[in-house]
A = this chain, B = another copy of it.
Amino acid sequence: MAFDRQQLRIPGPTPVPPQVVSAGARPMVNHRGPVFKSTMMNVLERLKKLFKTQNTILALTGSGTSAMEASVANLINVNDEVLVLVGGTFGDRWAKICSAYQAQVHILEYPWGEGVEPQQVADFLRRNPRITAVFATHNESSTGVLNDLQGIGAALADSDALYIVDAVSSLGGVDVRTDQWGIDVVCTASQKCLMSPPGLAFISLSERAKQRMAQVSSPRFYFDLRIYMEWLAKEEPPFTPNVACFFAMEKALDLIESEGLEQVFARHMILRDMVRAGLRALDLPLLVADKWASPTVTAVKPKFDNIGRFLAELRDTGVELAGGQGRLSGEIFRIGHMGNASPLDMLTTLAAIEARLGSHGQAVAAAEQVWSRAQQEQRGGQGYEGDSV
């Protein structure tokens, strides 16, 4: 066993800040008592600023997938025609859930490693006016692609279809303008940009989505959002919630608010640009072009074989990265840079990679240059607009 301290640089769960761990470790409370009530309402209310919404936000005790399934179970009837945008395993997950609920699933497949073109969505909807819902993935963490939620929203403008988004690996690290972009349902989870342990999922619902809910007869109980709405009116959860994670989330929101949301977004772009510059300096091919590059996770398609061994050796030196998923399994590795992640963490991660590859200093030097330029821009009051995008 190597020295037991890991840089956890996977696309979630992400490292939990010690202050957040401590907050989650407070003595257990009655989930129907005044302390929990105030914490739950506080978390749900403050999340609205991160979702940039006036819509209702509900919490489920579950992983991000539980919020995705709740969207489908509450909004899709058997035989409803739905459009799913698929460019990786998380788009594919939407399709699988919709199929499980016996929807008629239309798939608009876009290349794994690129984003969807909003014009294709608009064209599809014009040709298929019976589509009742469009399922999109904001950040496709299996490839490291950030989709254009605003563009997709505009493509839906002339349609009655609900706009349902998986923002599990983006919300809190990348701008999600729920109301401005017309998104009916946004799903996210505690363990990515929100810097808390896994075990809570969040879902926002527009008025239109709430109305649709009443017309859907798919079987559901734990995921029945009508029950959650009723209990929310009493400021209580319907089922025993992940109490510890709510306390953790409360502290994580303190951290995000005190840094400032726009500054958090800028930090994620700097991390992305540092990582991409460092990897390029090592001649490691990036899976995703600048145009679609995710601020929270970067995928590399190296020329060497046996990525599994490479990752195991890196783990022994103290940096934990992720492999590929689905059809990219064995083809890529991925570096998570979301939530509790700093420029110094990126330098550490790149240092471990370059040391393993024998290119001492090269990636770190390139990343430091990006960082220095970003700091100059920020000191100049310009904000950070991104290096390579």
**A binding-site residues for B, Cβ under 8 Å:** 5-6, 8, 10, 12-16, 21-22, 24-25, 27-33, 61-66, 69, 73, 96-97, 100-102, 189, 191, 197-199, 218-224, 239-245, 315, 320, 322
Contact = CB atoms under 8 A, between A and B. Distances in A.
A102 B219 contact: yes
A102 B78 CA distance: 14
Contact of A61 (B16, B21, B199, B315): B199
A219 B222 contact: no
A8 B25 contact: no
A74 B329 CA distance: 30
7 contacts: A8-B30, A13-B240, A13-B243, A16-B28, A25-B25, A62-B62, A96-B221
A218 B219 contact: yes
Nearest to A21: B25
B8 A100 contact: no
Count the copies.
Answer: 2
CB-CB nearest 6 A-B residue pairs: A199-B242, A63-B239, A197-B244, A199-B199, A63-B240, A100-B221
Contacts of A223: 222
A223 B60 CA distance: 14
Contact of A63 (B64, B218, B219, B241): B241
**Which of A28, A30, A101 is most buried by chain B, counting CB atoms within 10 A of its CB?**
A28
B66 A245 contact: no
Among A73, A97, A242, the one with the most B-chain Cβ atoms within 10 Å of its Cβ is A242
Contact of A244 (B73, B199, B240, B241): B199
A297 to B, nearest CB: 14
Contact of A322 (B14, B32, B100, B241): B32
A244 B24 contact: yes
B15 A27 contact: yes
A352 to B, nearest CB: 15
